[in-house]
Structure 1
Amino acid sequence: MAGNHQQLLQLTYIRFVILFCQCCAVAFALLYLRVDLNPWATGLALLLLGLLNLITYARLHSSWPVTQPEFFTQLLADAIIYGFILYQSGGGTNPFIFMLLIPLIITVMTLNNRYIWMMAITVTAIYGSLLVYYVPVVTALSEHQHSLTSLFNFHMLGMWLNFILTVIVITYFIVRINRALQRQQQSLIEEREAKVHHQQVLALGTMAAGTAHELGTPLSTMSVILHEMRTDSTLSDEHREDIDTLQQQVQTCADKLQHMARSVAEEKDSEKTSLATELLDEIIEQWNITRPDVTYSVSIQEDLPPDLRNTTALRQAILNLLNNAADACPKNIEISLRWEPTAIWLTIRDYGAGLSVEQTNTLGQPFISTKGKGLGIGLFLTSTTLAHYDGDVKLYAAQGKGTITEVRLSRRSVHG
């Protein structure tokens, strides 16, 4: 529907050009050639075309979608009005007879086969009728003398001008329509990709919820068994330490599951606005706890930092990217934060093995991992989260060695 709206708008521009050229041609024929042309009938047809164009332009400002039947009706009205103008000015002998091709070509470019055949039959019938029925254009010899050669030259000049006009109008329209169709096609592709993306996220969320529920029972069972084993008096101190370690690991897994469920439940209430530097400090502090083996350096722009939405999802998304860099190489990770009037940029540079061309092309797709032990969902979920905040993430192969991860967050989405 949006494409038909744009095409109808372009049609109003074409009508204006044709209306201007026809007015000039009628004035030239009446004032210079002194042809026997009925100005009232021709002027009425041109006035009707102008009124139709004004009504159409006003209609485009309404919220109603432009359907294919409506667009075809507009083109059909053009063909009929063009036929009436030609009828009053020589019919098939008029050099501007090729105006009838304009509605047909627009129909071919924009509408389906049914409307194409209907328009083809209509313009063919109008053209055939104009070869037989028309008002002849006769030169008033008593006032202005023209030889047959001069009249023929004027006719050829008119055909040449009409050909140039038709080429310009059709070329302009086709270029604009093709661009509109390409934008519409790209929009449909993006919508389909977004729909598939959301379905994949929903599937992952459903699997995660089911997995979390299923893990609760075996973790509780393991905790009870480990507690009973811990009370066995025959165990050595070394075995007791091993059991204590296992109990800690089981408790950590249980805490993680509870934290995940609690974070989802409290996500809306916990959302706040923080300075971008404060958000980064909070994420790095959490990262240091879970990855104490990493070494890194932080570079931050020195002027006043902008505000940013501080949510659990956003913090986890950036934390995933930091963990990816640490997995690649935990040493000498470079983190930089900078901002512009419209965007905030976070860059993470590691010195790991880097990415191949094949890996770069598949990054962000679910269940495709660059790590042998990875599940292939971390970067996918991170990209989805950043897109929710009007942002994105891109990965580049760094010069020499390593990977550069670039995160862009829009400052327009600060307040949701």
Structure 2
Amino acid sequence: MANHRENLLQLSYIRSVTLFGQCLAVIFAIYGLHADLNVWKISSTLGTLAFLNLITYARLFSPWPVTEPEFFTQLIAEMSLYGALLFHMGGATNPFIFLLLVPLIIASATLSKRYVWLIAVMIVAIYSSLLFYYEPILKLSNSHQHRIMELFDIHIVGMWINFLLTVLVITYFIVRMRQSMQQQQDKLEQEREKHIHDQQLLSLATMAAGTAHELGTPLSTMQVLLKELEHEHQHTPDLLEDLQLLYQQTEVCATRLKQMTQSVKEEHSTTQWLPATELIEATLEQLMVQRPDVSQTYTVMGLGEPPYLSCTTSLKQSLLNLINNAADANPKDLQIELDWDQQQTYFRIHDWGPGISLEQSDNLGKPFITTKGKGLGIGLFLTATTLARYDGDVRLYNHPEGGTLTEVTLPIRQKND
């Protein structure tokens, strides 16, 4: 679909340039060639064109969309006023007669076939009528004869200037129109990628919901059987200890499934705002409970009061996923930094693992792509998706000193945003 609002804006720019050029041409014809022109009629035509341009500017500030028939009407009005102006300035003998081609070329690039043919027929009719009906610029008389060669030279120069201006105007408009079309194409491509991304996310969410529902039954069965085995092996301390450990693990899994369901419900109803430092500290505390083998150094680099972030379960889980990924590469001596400026909050994780290859860096963030020998390859995909909901971003780099640098960027917002 053509962006007729942008096309109409460019047409108003061209109209302004044409007005300026025609005013200069009229001044030159009157004072340079001493032409006998009807100044009032020419001025009224130029004034009408200027008034049309002002109305067009005012219309572009309105919220209503610019339709194809409206843009066609604008071109018809433009072409008619050009014809009226040329009628008072020599008709087809005026070197600026080719100005009539500008609306046709614009229509050919922006409008459908039927509108282009209508404009083409009207331009031919206007040009043909100007061959016979016009007011001459210079009226020859017996007492005042102009030299034929001098008039011919002036006409040739005028044709050259007209050709140059037409080329400049048409080139400018076509380039801007092509840029507009390219922007629309890029937007459509982004929408297509977003649609594919949403479909992948929906598929993952559906599988996760189904898996969580199906895991409830086997976990309950395992807990019942483990309780029975504990009762039967009361007098076997070593086996009893293992059974109790297994029962605790199944209890953790069942609790985690319940928490996941509950957190999703709560996230849609409540939003808690916390300083970025508290959010990171809470995430690191959760990491230490889950993975006590990880050693890390946490540094706050930002100056002044820390910005507030929307503290949701999904955001904390996303940050935790990134730290876990870094710990999987190398759990020793993770370097974690928190920084911020006036617009952004930065969260960086530097691990001392093997780094990432060029092929892996091109595919990171896509579903089912993993840099580890194990895993499903959906952690980073879900993390990137969650951060995108907060207008954030995550990027992974090979650190110059070795290992991988993971950087999360989140915009700073007010609490009521």
With normalisation by structure 2, the TM-score equals: 0.93
Secondary structure at the counterpart of residue 336 of structure 1: strand
| Structure 2 partner of 1:390 | 391
Deviation (angstroms), 1:132: 4.0
Taking the aligned partners of 1:375 and 1:359, their CA distance within structure 2 comes to 15
Taking the aligned partners of 2:307 and 2:145, their CA distance within structure 1 comes to 80
Output the aligned Cα RMSD.
Answer: 2.2
| Structure 2 partner of 1:71 | 71
Aligned-pair identity (%): 53
Taking the aligned partners of 1:270 and 1:46, their CA distance within structure 2 comes to 62
| Structure 2 partner of 1:149 | 149
Q: Which runs of 4+ in 1 moved over 4 A?
A: 140-145
Deviation (angstroms), 1:191: 2.5
Written as runs of structure 1 = structure 2, the 5 A alignment for 1:361-380 is 361-380=362-381
Q: Deviations over 1:219-266 (max 9, x none)?
A: 111111221222224874333223222212211110110010111111
| Structure 1 partner of 2:179 | 179
Farther-moved stretch of structure 1 (381-390 vs 106-115): 106-115
Deviation (angstroms), 1:290: 0.9
Instruction: List alignment gaps of at least 5 residues for structure 1.
Output: none
Q: Deviations over 1:12-58 (max 9, x none)?
A: 11111101211221222123312233333333322221221111111
Q: Is the 8 A contact 1:295 1:330 kept in 2?
A: yes
1:358 maps to amino acid: E
| Structure 2 partner of 1:298 | 298
Instruction: List alignment gaps of at least 5 residues for structure 2.
Output: none
Farther-moved stretch of structure 1 (138-147 vs 247-256): 138-147
Secondary structure at the counterpart of residue 385 of structure 1: helix
Secondary structure at the counterpart of residue 131 of structure 2: helix
Deviation (angstroms), 1:393: 0.8
Secondary structure at the counterpart of residue 400 of structure 2: coil
| Structure 1 partner of 2:16 | 16
- Could you say if the C-alpha distance between residues 158 and 29 of structure 1 is closer, same or farther in structure 2, counting changes exceeding 3 Å? same
1:306 maps to amino acid: P
Taking the aligned partners of 1:281 and 1:137, their CA distance within structure 2 comes to 84
Secondary structure at the counterpart of residue 337 of structure 2: strand
Taking the aligned partners of 2:302 and 2:153, their CA distance within structure 1 comes to 76
Taking the aligned partners of 1:184 and 1:211, their CA distance within structure 2 comes to 40
1:30 aligns to 2:62 (yes or no): no
Deviation (angstroms), 1:195: 2.8
Q: Deviations over 1:171-220 (max 9, x none)?
A: 32223222222222222222232233233323322222221111111111
Written as runs of structure 1 = structure 2, the 5 A alignment for 1:150-299 is 150-233=150-233, 236-299=236-299
Farther-moved stretch of structure 1 (49-58 vs 131-140): 131-140
Farther-moved stretch of structure 1 (311-320 vs 182-191): 182-191
| Structure 2 partner of 1:122 | 122
Q: Deviations over 1:306-354 (max 9, x none)?
A: 2222121111111111111111111121111111111111111111121
Q: Is the 8 A contact 1:383 1:392 kept in 2?
A: yes
1:329 aligns to 2:330 (yes or no): yes
1:255 maps to amino acid: T
1:374 maps to amino acid: G
Q: Deviations over 1:77-116 (max 9, x none)?
A: 2122212222332222211012112112222333344433
Taking the aligned partners of 2:384 and 2:162, their CA distance within structure 1 comes to 55
2:10 maps to amino acid: Q
With normalisation by structure 1, the TM-score equals: 0.93
- Could you say if the C-alpha distance between residues 348 and 118 of structure 1 is closer, same or farther in structure 2, counting changes exceeding 3 Å? farther
1:343 aligns to 2:334 (yes or no): no
| Structure 1 partner of 2:43 | 43
Secondary structure at the counterpart of residue 412 of structure 1: coil
Taking the aligned partners of 1:142 and 1:313, their CA distance within structure 2 comes to 93
Q: Is the 8 A contact 1:353 1:402 kept in 2?
A: yes
Q: Is the 8 A contact 1:389 1:413 kept in 2?
A: no
- Could you say if the C-alpha distance between residues 289 and 270 of structure 1 is closer, same or farther in structure 2, counting changes exceeding 3 Å? farther
Taking the aligned partners of 1:403 and 1:127, their CA distance within structure 2 comes to 70
Taking the aligned partners of 2:147 and 2:235, their CA distance within structure 1 comes to 125
| Structure 2 partner of 1:138 | 138
